[in-house]
Structure 1
Amino acid sequence: MTTVPSIEGYEKLRLLETAIEHSLNGVLVTDADLDEGPRILYVNRGFERITGYSRDDVLGKTPRMLQGPETSEEFRHELRAALEQGHSYDGETVNYTREGRRYVVSLHISPIYAADTGAVTHFVSVQRDETEDQERDDQLRLLSTALEVAGDPVLITDPQGNIVYVNVAFEEQTGYSRNQVLGQNPRLFKSGQQEDAFYQEMWETLKRGDAFRGEFVNRRHDGSLIHLEQTINPVINERGQITHFVAIGKDITDRVRMEDEVRRLAHTDWLTGLANRLSLGDTLETEMERSRRYGRPLSLIMFDIDHFKDFNDDYGHETGDEVLKKLADTVRKALREADALGRWGGEEFMIVVPETPCKGAATMAEKLRQTVAAMKTSCPISVTASFGVTDMRPGDTPKTFARRVDEAMYQAKEAGRNRVVSL
C-alpha cells in the first residue's frame, strides 16, 4: 500500500498562501464586525489586479469602498442579511476600480467560525471579474438581435454545410420555418436553374478560405423562385480551421422580374406580344449566318392585312387593334416551333423560315393565307392578307433579303391582294 506524504505545519501554510496569492480570482478576508465594518484584513494579488487598489490602500477599510452608483441596492440588502445570519452568500454586482471604472463581479462569501465558541470571526470572499464575459455575452445578444431583426436573410452552416441558424427574414422570405431547415443542407433550396459548375466554383472558393459572391436562384417552400444576391463568408478560427459558413443574402426577385420585363418589352411588340422589328432583325441575322455556315436553305415570308386602313376608318382603332392581335395569334399557332414570327411595322408581319427553300415557304404561305381568310373576328367584314415569299441568295444581306420579300408582298397586293407571290 502506497503511503501519501503529508504536509505539516508551516510548510502547509506557506503552500496555501502561495496558492491564494497566485490565484486569478480576487480573495479578501474581513473581520466579522458588521456594525463598523466588516474591515479588510487581507487581499491577494488577484484582488489588486481586479480593483487597481494595493493592499495598503484597502487594509482596515470596508469593502463598501468598492461600491458605486450602479451597485444594486437589492444586492446590498441580500448580502447584509446573509452575513448577519452567518450564512454563505453567492451573488453578482457592479463594483468600481480605483480609477473609477465599473466592473461586474461575481462573489462567494463564506463565514469562518471559531472552533471553541462557534461564533463567526471572519468572512472570506472569493471574487471573479465577469466584465469581459458579460461584455461578450452582451455583444452576442446584440449581434443575435441584429441578425434576427435584419431585413435580409441570414443562414449559418457548420463546415459540412449543415444549417445551424437562420434568422426571421430567412423564414419570411423562403417560407421555411427554422425547425424545418435546422440540420438540413442548403441544397434543399436548389431550383435546378443553375449549372453544377456554379456550385463547384462556390465550394472551391469557400474551401480556400475566400468569400464567395453570386446570384442564387433558389426555390421557396411553396415552389416559387427567389433570386438572392448572396455573399458567403467562411469563419476561420485561430488555428486556421473553417468552423462555419455565414451566408447573407438580399432578395432581388422583384428587380430580376423588372429587368426581365424591360428586356422583354425591348424585344416585344407591345400590342401583339410578338417579336418586334429589332428582335426579328437579330433573329434574321443569326439565321442567315447559320445558313451560310452549314449551307442550309432559309426563306422569308412577309404579309400584311388587305385594306387595313378601312378597318380603322370604318370600325375604329380598337377594332383594328383587335384584328392585329387576332391575326398574330392565329398565324403564330399555325407555325412550326423553329419559325420566327414578328411584327415588322404597322400591319406588316414577317416570318423567318429556317431549313426551308422558297417552294416550301410558298406552300406554307398559301396555307397561312387560307387560315387568315377563314379567321373569325368581331369585324363584320372578312380579313384577308397578301403574302410575299423569297429565299436567301449568295451575297444577300439582311437589308437586301428583307427588301426582296417586301417587293414580293407588294406584287401580291398589286395583283389583286389575298394571294401569295414568290420572288
Structure 2
Amino acid sequence: MKQIESSLLLSSVIDLIDDLIFYKDKHFKYIGCNAAFLSFIGKTSAELLGKDDFELFEHNVASQFRKHDKLMLAEGKIRSNEEWVTYPNNKKVYLLTKKIPFVYDGINTGILGISRDITLLEKANQKLQEQTLLDELTQVKNRKAYNLKIKSLLAVYERYQTPFSIISIDIDDFKDINDSFGHDMGDTVLRNFAALLEKNIRETDHLFRIGGEEFVILSESKTKVDAIQLAEKLRQIVAFTELLSEIKVTISLGICEVSFGDSPNSIAKRVDKLLYEAKSDGKNKVIYHSKK
C-alpha cells in the first residue's frame, strides 16, 4: 500500500512540472510520461504507451530522437542536446533535452528524458547575434559579417570552384557633404545610400559597410560579367537619385573575381587597387581591369 501511495505521489509531483518528462524501454517504446508531455504532443496516455517515436512523429523528428537515444545508451551516462523540433500540431520549438539511463523491471535499462522549451531564449540569442553583425548606422551587415562571409565563400570556392566577385564601393567626395551640411546630414545620406543599394541588389548579392563611406558587395554571380553589369546599374541609379533634398552623390567601384590561392587579404588588395584607379581616373566609374 505504501509503495502504491508513493508511486501516486511521485506521479502527481511529476505532473506539476512544466518540463516535458518521458520514459522509454530498451526497445525505445514509451512506458510513461508526465501531463506536460502529453499536452505538448497532443496525445492521450493510451495513444502514447507502447509506441515508439516512428509511430508518433514524422520520420525526421523520430530519427532525431532515436539518434540521441542510441548515443546516450551507448555512452551509459547523461547526455544533453539542443535542437529545433516540429511536433504533430506543427508547433516548432527549440528544446534543451537531457537523457539518462534508468533501470526498470529491476534488470532492464531504458531512457529517462527531460526536455525544456527554450524557444524564447534561443530567439533572443539569435536576434542578439544578428545585431552584432549589423552596422549600427545603416543597418546593413558590418565588417565582422563581411569577414565571416568572405571566408565562407573562399572555402566553398576552394572545394567546389564556385565563383564569386567582390565589388568595392566608395562614395565620391563624401567629405564635402559632411563639411557643407554637417555630420548629421552625412549620416542620413549614408543611411539612404545603403537602403538604395539594398533595394537594387539580388538575393545572391551581400552588402556590407566596411567603414566610413566604404561599402562592399560580395556577389555570388556565375560570371564576372554579371557583377560588372550589377556595378554599372548601381552606379547609374546612385548618380540619378537624390539621397536627400538637393543632395546627389556619385560612386566609384572596383571589381575583381576570386582566383585560385586567394585569401581575404589578397582579394581585398586587388579590388582596392581597382577602386583607387576608378577614383584617380575621374571618379563615377566602374573599373574591373587594371590599366596600370
TM over 0.5, shorter chain? yes
Residue 10 of structure 2 aligns with an amino acid whose one-letter code is: L
> Per-residue CA shift, 1:178-233, capped at 9, x if unaligned?
74x751465656695x694x434234346769465322422367644322221234
SS of the equivalent of 2:247 reads coil
Summarize the Cα distance change of 1:390–1:230 in structure 2 as closer, same or farther, 3 Å threshold: closer
Q: Within the alignment, does 1:148 sit opposite 2:148 as a pair? A: no
Q: Within the alignment, does 1:167 sit opposite 2:35 as a pair? A: yes
- Tell me which of 128, 144, 149 is aligned to 1:283: 149
SS of the equivalent of 1:410 reads helix
| In structure 2, distance between residues paired with 1:271 and 1:191 | 45
The residue number in structure 1 matching 2:283 is 417
The residue number in structure 1 matching 2:129 is 263
| In structure 2, distance between residues paired with 1:412 and 1:406 | 10
- Tell me which of 88, 93, 112 is aligned to 1:226: 93
| In structure 1, distance between residues paired with 2:67 and 2:260 | 46
1:420 CA drift (Å): 1.4
Q: How does 1:56-135 map to 2 (within 5 A)?
A: 133-134=1-2
Given that 2:100 and 2:112 are in contact with CA atoms closer than 8 Å, whether structure 1 keeps it comes out as yes
* Higher RCO (Cα < 8 Å, 6 or more apart): 2
| In structure 2, distance between residues paired with 1:231 and 1:291 | 39
| In structure 2, distance between residues paired with 1:165 and 1:396 | 56
| In structure 2, distance between residues paired with 1:381 and 1:226 | 48
Q: Compare the two structures and name the one with the higher helix fraction.
A: 2
| In structure 1, distance between residues paired with 2:172 and 2:90 | 48
| In structure 2, distance between residues paired with 1:315 and 1:163 | 73
1:407 CA drift (Å): 2.8
Summarize the Cα distance change of 1:379–1:412 in structure 2 as closer, same or farther, 3 Å threshold: farther
1:302 CA drift (Å): 0.6
Given that 1:268 and 1:274 are in contact with CA atoms closer than 8 Å, whether structure 2 keeps it comes out as yes
Given that 1:300 and 1:350 are in contact with CA atoms closer than 8 Å, whether structure 2 keeps it comes out as yes
The residue number in structure 2 matching 1:213 is 80
Summarize the Cα distance change of 1:219–1:307 in structure 2 as closer, same or farther, 3 Å threshold: same
| In structure 2, distance between residues paired with 1:191 and 1:224 | 16
> Per-residue CA shift, 1:225-250, capped at 9, x if unaligned?
322221234553345346x7532122
Summarize the Cα distance change of 1:388–1:255 in structure 2 as closer, same or farther, 3 Å threshold: same
- Tell me which of 47, 50, 65 is aligned to 1:183: 47
1:165 CA drift (Å): 3.4
Residue 283 of structure 1 aligns with an amino acid whose one-letter code is: K
Aligned length: 283
| In structure 2, distance between residues paired with 1:320 and 1:289 | 37
Which residues of structure 2 form unaligned runs of 5+? Answer: none
The residue number in structure 2 matching 1:373 is 239
| In structure 1, distance between residues paired with 2:115 and 2:246 | 57
Q: CA RMSD in A?
A: 3.8
Summarize the Cα distance change of 1:251–1:390 in structure 2 as closer, same or farther, 3 Å threshold: same
Given that 1:162 and 1:182 are in contact with CA atoms closer than 8 Å, whether structure 2 keeps it comes out as no
The percent identity for this pair of structures is 28
| In structure 1, distance between residues paired with 2:216 and 2:13 | 58
